[in-house]
């Protein structure tokens, strides 16, 4: 594998990993959804060998770390978030030797590897759950999950009124009459984290992957492990409207924090600054900050930022609240625009505000791409760490016109809960202009790619001035080279016209025009980068609509 290095990172990669202290405070972390990234064997499904083959591309893009969505042994009822064996690679993705080779190659290239961990629930094919079913009511194995007798004269009603996030009751009845809890699909029974065996098992799983050399874990449903004592009813409240807006009896319970304090002790046994990243949906960024106290986790996803519209006032408010919330606990803010669970921001921003993060409209694609490019430069200018979802550097939109018969999102088939349109952001990404799957692999792709996908490919955009891919490459190189970018906990807001965000960080200045018309602002110095065309004259700069500009006053 090539050992060449980009101009933005001329030092040998092996020393880069050893040298960078607190790397996670300003890291740009790239999310790989393995089944949709690169297919090495032509079966239409991405795999670990495919990811490994594309690591030089990620190194040259300029990211610091790669987060891999689940690749564990799984029946794939929820795209791998139903884990049957946490210490095995599913054959569709390869094997443990492939995982080992990927981690080693990444480290040689100066990239760190973060793996997904799914501790809230297992697959119903996990040995523990199969044993619990076989041993029956009252058995010790059942205590590792939430089994309960039902309500009603003959136990025919669920134990409480909780609903699955995917729609329908959060309980399923088994043949012997008891019910088990699953906050997601019935194939995903929730662990009982009050049982000591569960904690023991996951500390062992952490050590298994740390010994393999991973640099950290993204914790799925980090807010969901501990349930309120007695599993109380919600009392008829509209659960879907409350989600993310209130502390729920099954989410964001204070008991989760003791779990993470124990995990942190395990992580700190290992050298090399390994990290935890929380997927924690909480009512406020202040609640999110509880997960990243000094003796718990390192980062938490900023879902409040992801769900903010392209609006200067709203963005400034969430930026201020985020920085204020993280400052007392000494944790870096994180910023993210897209992931595998939401409509890509190039499509979200192409549609009218108020549609949420799951929409099924193509919208004005030119407008969406222009805003997405501007939003990216704004995000990368903010203090802290940023996340990039695979394909957003190509400006990929959601594929909104997938036929119903090819959809695989489990929420789609349940008729309630989440909208079920997450497949649109999971379509395999294009690498080349031509081919059966535009370079994804030689045997097609597990979700159909749209016609014209090749014109958005890595091949089509590489070396093309003004392309979205080259904008990302330039932005990440500038971000790494500018000492005032990256880590920090504050911005200095500057006076700006309505609809415009302007702030200074040392000698660096960022101006983002979220409005529909051009605006005139001071020319703050030398232009480092802009997401669109701008003109400068007589000490002033005309910034077009939906455009972000970076300057240096040095």
Around Cβ 454, how many Cβ atoms within 10 Å?
A: 18
Token couple for 407: 């959809």
From the list 90, 220, 409, 546, the catalytic residue is: 220
CA distances from 537 to 14, 500, 501 (A): 46, 20, 21
| CB distance 108 to 14 below 8 Å | yes
Around Cβ 439, how many Cβ atoms within 10 Å?
A: 22
> Strands, DSSP E only, in 342-407?
385-389
CA distances from 408 to 385, 396, 398, 411, 444 (A): 31, 20, 15, 9, 17
The reply to whether 100 belongs to the active site is: no
- The position carrying tokens 């879907």 is 240
Kind plus residue range of the DSSP H or E element containing 345: helix 345-348
Backbone angles phi, psi at 143, to 5 degrees: -70, -15
| Separation of alpha carbons 314 and 312, rounded Å | 6
CA distances from 12 to 67, 478, 483 (A): 22, 19, 20
| Separation of alpha carbons 512 and 427, rounded Å | 30
Helix (H, G, I), strand (E, B) or coil at 216: strand
Token couple for 490: 């504050």
From the list 269, 295, 455, 540, the catalytic residue is: 269
Token couple for 156: 């025919």
| Separation of alpha carbons 194 and 7, rounded Å | 51
The reply to whether 533 belongs to the active site is: no
- Maximum C-alpha span of the chain: 83
Nearest to 122 by CA among 195, 43, 39, 182: 182
- Between strands 385-389 and 334-336, the pairing is parallel
Cross-strand bridge partners of residue 551: 509, 527
Tell me how far the alpha carbon of residue 68 is from its chain's centroid: 10
> Strands, DSSP E only, in 222-301?
275-278, 299-300
Around Cβ 343, how many Cβ atoms within 10 Å?
A: 27
What is the C-alpha end-to-end distance of the chain, expressed in Å? 39
Residues marked active site are found at 220, 269
């Amino acid at each position: 594998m090539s050992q060449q290095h980009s101009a933005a990172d001329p030092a040998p990669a092996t020393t880069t990993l050893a040298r960078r202290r607190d790397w996670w405070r300003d890291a740009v972390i790239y999310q790989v959804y393995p089944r949709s990234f690169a297919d090495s064997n032509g079966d239409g499904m991405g795999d670990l060998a495919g990811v490994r083959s594309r690591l030089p591309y990620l190194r040259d893009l300029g990211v610091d770390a790669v987060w891999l969505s689940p690749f564990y042994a799984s029946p794939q009822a929820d795209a791998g978030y139903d884990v049957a064996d946490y210490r095995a690679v599913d054959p569709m993705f390869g094997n443990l030797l492939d995982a080992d080779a990927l981690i080693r190659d990444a480290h040689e290239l100066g990239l760190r590897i973060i793996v997904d961990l799914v501790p809230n629930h297992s697959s119903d094919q996990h040995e523990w759950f199969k044993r619990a079913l076989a041993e029956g009511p009252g058995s010790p194995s059942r205590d590792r999950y939430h089994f309960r007798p039902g309500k009603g004269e003959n136990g025919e009603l669920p134990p409480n009124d909780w609903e699955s996030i995917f729609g329908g009751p959060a309980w399923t009845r088994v043949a012997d009459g008891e019910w088990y809890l699953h906050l997601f699909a019935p194939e995903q029974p929730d662990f009982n984290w009050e049982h000591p065996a569960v904690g023991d098992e996951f500390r062992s799983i952490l050590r298994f992957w740390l010994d393999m050399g991973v640099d950290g874990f993204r914790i799925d449903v980090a807010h969901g492990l501990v349930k309120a004592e007695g599993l109380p009813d919600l009392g008829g409240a509209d659960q879907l409207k409350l989600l993310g807006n209130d502390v729920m009896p099954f989410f964001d319970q204070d008991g989760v924090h003791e779990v993470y304090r124990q995990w942190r002790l395990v992580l700190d046994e290992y050298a090399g600054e390994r990290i935890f990243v929380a997927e924690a949906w909480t009512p406020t960024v202040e609640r999110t900050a509880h997960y990243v106290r000094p003796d718990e986790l390192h980062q938490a996803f900023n879902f409040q930022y992801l769900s903010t519209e392209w609006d200067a006032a709203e963005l400034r408010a969430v930026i201020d609240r985020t920085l204020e919330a993280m400052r007392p606990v000494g944790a870096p803010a994180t910023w993210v625009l897209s992931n595998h669970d939401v409509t890509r921001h190039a499509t979200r921003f192409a549609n009218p505000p108020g549609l949420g993060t799951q929409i099924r409209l193509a919208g004005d694609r030119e407008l969406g791409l222009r805003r997405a490019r501007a939003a990216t430069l704004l995000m990368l200018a903010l203090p802290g760490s940023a996340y990039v979802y695979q394909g957003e550097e190509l400006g990929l939109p959601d594929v909104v016109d997938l036929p119903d018969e090819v959809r695989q999102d489990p929420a789609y088939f349940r008729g309630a809960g989440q909208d079920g349109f997450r497949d649109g952001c999971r379509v395999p990404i294009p690498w080349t202009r031509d081919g059966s799957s535009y370079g994804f692999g030689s045997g097609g792709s597990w979700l159909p790619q749209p016609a014209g996908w090749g014109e958005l490919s890595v091949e089509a955009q590489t070396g093309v001035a003004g392309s979205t891919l080259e904008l990302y490459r330039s932005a990440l190189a500038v971000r790494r080279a500018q000492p005032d970018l990256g880590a920090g906990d504050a911005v200095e807001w500057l006076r700006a016209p309505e609809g415009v965000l302007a702030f200074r960080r040392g000698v660096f200045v960022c101006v983002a025009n979220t409005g529909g018309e051009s605006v005139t602002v001071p020319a703050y110095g030398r232009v480092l980068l802009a997401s669109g065309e701008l003109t400068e004259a007589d000490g002033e700069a005309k910034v077009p609509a939906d455009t972000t500009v970076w300057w240096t006053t040095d």
